[in-house]
Structure 1
Amino acid sequence: MEYRKLGTTDLNLSVITYGAFAIGGSMWGGNEKQDSIDAIHASLDHGITSIDTAPFYGFGLSEELIGEAIKGRDRSKIQILTKFGLVWDKSNNGKGEHFFDASDEQGNPVPVFKFASKENIIKEAEESLKRLGTDYIDLLQIHWPDATTPISETMEAMELLIQQGKIKAAGLCNYDLSQMQTAAETIKLASNQVSYSMLNRGIENELVPFSIANDISIIAYSPLERGLLTGKYFKNARLKSDDHRNGYFGQFNPELVEAFLNKIQPVADSQNATLSQLVLRWTTLQPGIAIVLAGARNAKQAIENAAAINISISDEELNFINENLALISQQLA
């Protein structure tokens, strides 16, 4: 595994970091508890030292599973990344910005709000520490921008948590350039976690140059477009009816994506690698991308993700991938 320093902090994260959204089950067609714990153990045993989660993932379940999985492990060798700012219970009394309606296990609607007030951040951090079974969080991130709370208030709350020793570093998620610039006026930012993949490269225009110039690490999520770029959904794979990807995949042109994957399959084959491993490795090599999140719902997937870092892509192969990617990008535009 390779490890990279996060921003100007003392944190060194595994370049492939375990993404724990899916193990929360909600929006992903459920989960199997033991498979999820096995996936975390396999990740840790194969060099992935960093785990990214959020309270919203499974309404607390993802954090709880991580807490159970790391119990008894050397905490100093594990970096926990979690978030705040998506509120689904009634404790905020409707404050914040309505985001969307999720569903509970019975299929009942659950209103979700973006809410990043100082009081709420302190509250959520304490709840996360309890669920994770730890006394500090390595990187705390605002999950989504909250238009109802001044950015300075949110950043000041994270600065307070750093001073209290409850978090080591502060990060953003899904902030655009203007929002990043405003946040940076109040606190030294470690990172911004944003969506980035072969099919979604918009951040390269402004956000990447700003981040590089200001020593802010980019954490890329959805590098495999939630499984689409693995290729298996073109080979009779089926999603459960309550899996959000049934709608998510619809934004892409399946025929073009499949044709592109068929083009680069020989590169993966030459490396004795899977398409998902090739795509993950390509993502780690892009300018400004420090950390790449990869989800796994069982040990086999976790081991495969960790091994992606071992792929050596030549300049010729990289050019071949990029040339074909440019063609599909033009057609998808």
Structure 2
Amino acid sequence: MKYRRLGSTDLDVSVIGIGTWQFGGEWGKDFTQMEVDQILDKGREVGINLLDTAECYGDHLSESFIGDYLSRNNREDWIVATKFGHHFIDNFERTRQWKADQVLKQLDHSLKSLKTDYIDLYQAHSCSDEEFNNDDLWTMLDKQVQAGKIRNLGISLQNEASTYQTKTAKEVNARAIQLIYNRLQREPEDEVLPIAEKDNLGVLARVPLASGYLSGKYKPGATFEKSDVRSKHDQADTSKKLKLVEEIARNEVPEGVPMATWALAWCLKHPAVSTVIPGCKNPDQVVLNAQAADLVSTNHPQHKQ
């Protein structure tokens, strides 16, 4: 495994993390604590130290799985990132909760669910620019940093990453951003990633396998079952993506390298990117994800010995 300093924080994160949205049940599978334990045990074994979750992955369900694990293992071995701004309700719907007092309640609930005294990276979760402009919220969060409940603040940007929030991150004491970035979705390269690089913001790249399209499993014409979130994607767009993936596999992926491994390492080549946080369903996928670190150069500006 390789490690990078996360922006101006004091956190050295593994270049491969574990995204845990799936633990909330929205990926079409209900996880057990034993299955989560096996995934996190394997992550620790291969040198992964970063977990990314959120209060609304289930009703603090993903956090609770992680918290149960942390209570039986060394909390200090892990960098835990979670998020705020939503409240989970039935059928995977969420309400938006951005008032300072609401977020303070979310923070305390997250700490309780995670069975920890502090959160390493507490991220605003897909807020609009209007929701972001909330002095009361950021003042309250700064007080929680001073109290030791939060080590660092971050911003998990919406699917269309906000240039404004990225430019303003330092003003609200946010030291990292999270965004969608992969070989099929390169828009952040235009403005957002250069700002992050200039302002020394850590960057967590989510959806690095483009919702599995870059896994190498699917050929043009592939269809997805109704339980698969990709079945809801626009069919024409899916067809276009699969054709592009076929071209990438033919022209860019080295012979003998699994496409998924290559795709994770591809994200990590950008000088602004600190870490990627792919999801995983089982320990074998954790191992395959971790192998991408072998393709990552030690010449990256954030590389840690």
Task: Please tell me the TM-score bracket, short chain as reference.
Answer: 0.7 to 0.9
Aligned with residue 257 of structure 1, among 230, 244, 247: 244
Mapping of residues 300-311 of structure 1, within 5 Å = 300-311=284-295
Aligned to 1:225: 210
Q: Which residue identity lines up with residue 136 of structure 2 in the other structure?
A: E
C-alpha deviations, 1:155-203, integer Å up to 9, x for none?
2222111011001000001151212333432x32211101111111111
CA RMSD of aligned residues (A): 2.2
Number of the residue aligned with 2:122 = 140
Q: Which amino acid aligns with 2:247?
A: F
2: distance between equivalents of 1:265 and 1:216?
A: 29
Contact 1:116/1:142 (<8 A) preserved = no
Report the CA distance between 1:35 and its aligned residue.
2.7
CA shift in 2, pair 1:238/1:148, >3 Å: same
- How big is the shift at 1:241? 2.0
Query: In the alignment, which residue of structure 2 is the partner of 1:179?
Result: 165
- Aligned ranges for residues 16-27 of structure 1 at < 5 Å? 16-26=16-26
Relative to structure 2, which stretch is displaced further, 192-201 or 241-250? Answer: 241-250
Cα distance, 1:10–1:22 mapped onto 2, change above 3 Å: same
Q: Which residue of 1 aligns with 2:46?
A: 46
- Residues 127, 4 of structure 1: alpha-carbon distance in 2 compared, 3 angstrom cutoff: same
Aligned residue number for residue 99 of structure 1 = none
1:62 equivalent in structure 2: 62
Q: For residues 235 and 131 of structure 1, do their structure 2 counterparts lie closer, same or farther at Cα, with a shift above 3 Å needed?
A: farther
Which deviations, in whole Å up to 9, do the C-alpha atoms of 1:265-300 show, x marking residues without a partner? 76151xxx3210111011111121111111111000
- 174-183 or 273-282: bigger deviation: 174-183
Give secondary structure in 1 for the equivalent of 2:291: helix
Q: What is the deviation of 1:302? A: 0.6
Once residues 70 and 285 of structure 2 are traced to their aligned partners in structure 1, the CA distance between those partners, rounded to angstroms, is: 18
Q: What residue in structure 2 maps to residue 331 of structure 1?
A: none
> Structure 2: which 5+ residue stretches go unaligned?
298-305
Query: Structure 2 vs 1, CA of residues 17 and 312 (structure 1 numbering), >3 Å: closer, same or farther?
Result: closer
1:56-205, aligned counterparts within 5 Å?
56-89=56-89, 103-104=91-92, 110=93, 112-146=94-128, 147-148=130-131, 150-174=133-157, 176-185=162-171, 187-205=172-190
Deviation at 1:238, TM superposition (A): 7.0
Q: Distance in 2 between the 1:268 and 1:139 partners? A: 38
C-alpha separation between the residues in 2 aligned to 1:183 and 1:262?
Answer: 36
Counterpart in 1 of 2:7? 7
Distance, in Å, in 2 between the alignment partners of 1:280 and 1:173 is: 19
CA gap 1:277/1:249 in 2 versus in 1, 3 angstroms: farther
Checking the alignment, whether the CA contact within 8 Å between 2:166 and 2:195 is kept in structure 1 is no
Task: Specify the structure having the higher radius of gyration (Cα).
Answer: 1
**Paired residue type of 1:226:** S
TM-score (structure 1 length as normaliser): 0.80
Measured in 2, the distance between the counterparts of 1:149 and 1:177 equals 12
Larger deviation: 129-138 or 34-43?
34-43
CA contact (8 A) 1:136 1:168 kept: yes
Determine the C-alpha separation between the residues in 1 that align with 2:3 and 2:106: 29
1:97: which partner in 2? none
| Alignment: residue pair count | 290
Give the distance between the partners of 1:114 and 1:286, measured in 2 at CA.
Answer: 33
Deviations along 1:222-254, one digit per CA (max 9) or x if unpaired, are 010111100213399875423322123743414
* Aligned-partner Cα distance in 1 for 2:269–2:234: 25
Q: CA deviation at 1:48?
A: 0.3
Conserved 8 A contact 1:86-1:144: no
CA distance in 2, matches of 1:182, 1:266: 37
CA contact (8 A) 2:14 2:275 kept: yes
Quick one: percent identity of the two aligned structures? 29
Are positions 1:297 and 2:285 aligned together?
A: no
SS in 2 for 1:192: strand
Q: Which amino acid aligns with 1:14?
A: S
